[in-house]
Amino acid sequence: MRGSNLPKTITAPPFQPGVAPTPAESGEILSEDQLGHLRHFDNISRLPDNDWSGMLQRVPFQDDGATVRYQLAYASFALALTHLHRLPAAPGLFQPMLTRLIEKMLLPTVWGYWRDVSRGGGALNSYIQRDPEWDPVARENIMYSGYLQTMITLNRYLFDDRRFDAPDSIVLDTASPFWGGSSHRFTYDRESLNENLYWQLVENGYLGIACQPNCIFQICIQPSILSYRLNDFITGGARADEITAGYKRAWEEFGQLDETGHFTCFVQYDLKNPIHASDITVNAWLGTLLNMWDPALVRDRYSAFMEGELKQAGPGELFVTQPSGSIEAQLMSPMAWVAPWASEIGDQATVDGLLAYADSHLGREWRDGGLFYRRNDTAADDLGRATLVDPLSGNVMLGYSRLNIPDGLWRLYNRPLAPDHHRTPALVRVADDIDVSQAVFDRDAARLTFRVRRRTDLPLRGRSADAGTVEIGRLGGQGEWELRRGSEIISSGTGDTLVVECPTEATTFTLTKRGGDHG
Amino acid sequence: MADSPIDGRFDLVDHHGQHVTEQTYRGRWMLVYFGFTNCRSVCPRTLTKLTDSLERLGELSDRIAPLYITVDPERDTPEVMRIFLENRFPRFTGLTGSDERVTAAKAAYRVFSQRGQDPADPDGYAVPHSAITYLVDPDGHYVDHFVDTADAEAIADRVRARLESAQ
């Protein structure tokens, strides 16, 4: 039996940003699946350098939309959204993961493709022939540089980590003894990276920055726009507003949407030739990101784009048929972006249906405490149901969708952190064998609530000196504090930090000023 | 660390017909704006705003060379620029040159412009362009820029701060 089309019309929920509290604000606890996705991101971040186990695509050369740079980048996005909306008082869980993902992003195996792609002569720019360029950031290649920029910016914005503000702190370095010649080393810092991309945008009239030479995609500039917005939050200014206003004007020439109402995918810039894409993956990818700063347009198109795309399998299970056509379309599951898009729009019924299908039919697997979906290169089963799992979907985006909240990216873009965000009590260090399923500081009650458990079933974890513990920091402003487990006071003091031994059973702790409200 | 994104060099002719480069203005600050004299909205608005900013700076403005570089050298000859600026924006000196040299100046300042059809223009075309004003120090180093949304007061304040901190 083939999957049947759903009779119902998919409609975007009304745009009501900020009406609902975040899961953190409403006291939600992460599910086992959500914890599993976080653990998988952590596992990826801890792989040895150049060990891309489970992350490689079936095609070589990192040409496709599921390649490792996208996995590293969107895992970072997922971490940012989860930290912000679900576990805001656990920087010690997220920041080390993000730093490790950035270090992977800087490995030459991630960006070395640019030496070849920069020459042009590809399917989208066959008329261009240039000398190879090594620096993956200097010009074009926003499909790498924009993501690196965003990861660096998230690290500064969310954690006030200034390591990449130092001159020459972002190092892109490679050499091969077999190739001969000199090594290739390029250094940047957060500001010079931002400036470099900004002036490329200006030079292109804000239309964007090319991925492959001369091909300016709508999608890949969006993370960079997020970076400029977060940098505006960090340093002041309104560069993101300048860029988005210029972007809107620039795309009037080509149309953000084509005559069928689908997004224009990219422009061959020197030919002034817009290339359209009707497949759902491209439209859902851009729709997800564009919700940050143009939610009206995205919501307006959501229903039309989704029309006929969703099919029902078992009860409560939805899938999206693999589109036919381009090679690119064959490499990525549309689930990779339909699920995140539905999660961003707040169409929870669709998210739940897609994840239920994935859990039953798409190779759901636990490894080393991490939850992911195993890569599968077959497009459909004998019943016509989608089975393809590309590494971006399986490692990152289905988990992203389970962790995101309605308008999660919109909130990141539009709601600056509270001025005291980096000074309020928080879990500033989390050992690698600890699961954190709740971590929030209630400003009104001056109360830190966190829920943790120690894992003893992960053979590669728990070997460090701090195993089994979390450290609460930033307690200086609390005066005399007390830590409770349930109603029992288990510690009190006036110090700025406190190390807590975590039980193997998930346990909720609260820390308040002495005699404070423990909720 | 990467070099400055703005190179700032040019090799052009001013609206008196004199050959000028960025070296011509060494020892003075340069306030540089790109546009074209047939521009109906953005250029008049920006040049008016920048004139206002310069007036707000009082005597400090004596240390500044306000320059208006064309993105439309085909129509903007030195004479055309002189008449346009002397009549309407006399603080500014217009710079033009060959297509090649104007293109080089645009690249040095990372300026976007693109000739396109405009039925409302007597010649049938316009040259939409980026609306950014650059501040270059007396040693020829780019130090700041102002986007279209910055008002006259904000520009004057930022230029004043730069000039005073350099004293």
Domain presence at residue B94: yes
Cα dist from A483 to A121, A469, A488, B113, whole Å: 63, 15, 8, 63
CA B147 and chain centroid, separation: 13
- Residue A398 is predicted with a pLDDT of 98
- Nearest CA to CA, how far is A163 from chain B (Å)? 14
pLDDT band at A7 (very low <50, low <70, confident <90, very high): very low
Strand pairing report for B133-136 and B142-146: antiparallel
Dihedral sign, Cα of residue A43, residue A48, residue A51, residue A56: positive
Chain A interface, best mutation among B32, B42, B110, by max A CB count within 10 A? B110
- Residue A287 is predicted with a pLDDT of 97
Over residues A30-40, the pLDDT tens digits come to 999 999 999 99
| Residues of the binding site of B | 39, 43, 129
Query: Do B28 and B63 contact (CB within 8 A), yes or no?
Result: yes
Chain B interface, best mutation among A149, A189, A203, A267, by max B CB count within 10 A? A203
Over residues A253-302, the pLDDT tens digits come to 999 999 989 999 999 988 889 998 888 999 999 999 999 999 999 998 99
Strand pairing report for B29-35 and B64-70: parallel
CA gyration radius, chain A? 23
Q: Does A196 touch chain B (CB under 8 A)?
A: yes
Mean pLDDT of A44-61: 95
Domain that holds residue B123: 11-128+142-165
Please report the DSSP string for A117-183 in residue order. Answer: HTT--STT-TT--------TTTSS-HHHHHHHHHHHHHHHHHH---GGGSTT-EEEEE--TTT-S--
CATH of the domain at B63: 3.40.30.10
Domain presence at residue B74: yes
Q: Does domain A426-513 have CATH number 3.10.350?
A: no
Distance between CA atoms of A40 and A368, rounded to whole angstroms? 8
Domain presence at residue B35: yes
Q: Count the domains in chain B.
A: 1
Distance between CA atoms of B55 and B51, rounded to whole angstroms? 6
| Residues of the binding site of B for Cu cation | 39, 43, 129
3-class SS at A369? coil
Distance between CA atoms of A465 and A225, rounded to whole angstroms? 41
Domain presence at residue B5: no
Contact A202 B128 (CB under 8 A): no
- Nearest CA to CA, how far is A464 from chain B (Å)? 36
Contact A203 B111 (CB under 8 A): yes
Domain locations along chain A: 106-278, 426-513
- Residue A4 is predicted with a pLDDT of 59
Amino acid at A434: I
Mean pLDDT of B48-54: 98
The nearest alpha carbon in chain A to B117 belongs to: A253
Query: Do A395 and A38 contact (CB within 8 A), yes or no?
Result: no
Q: Give A254's contacts (C-beta < 8 A, 6+ positions apart).
A: A207, A264, A267, A272, A274
Query: Do A362 and A389 contact (CB within 8 A), yes or no?
Result: yes
Judged by phi (left if over 0) then psi (alpha if -120 to 50, else beta), residue A140 lies in: left
User: Does position A340 have pLDDT exceeding 70, yes or no?
Assistant: yes
Global ipTM: 0.92
Higher pLDDT, A346 or A460: A346
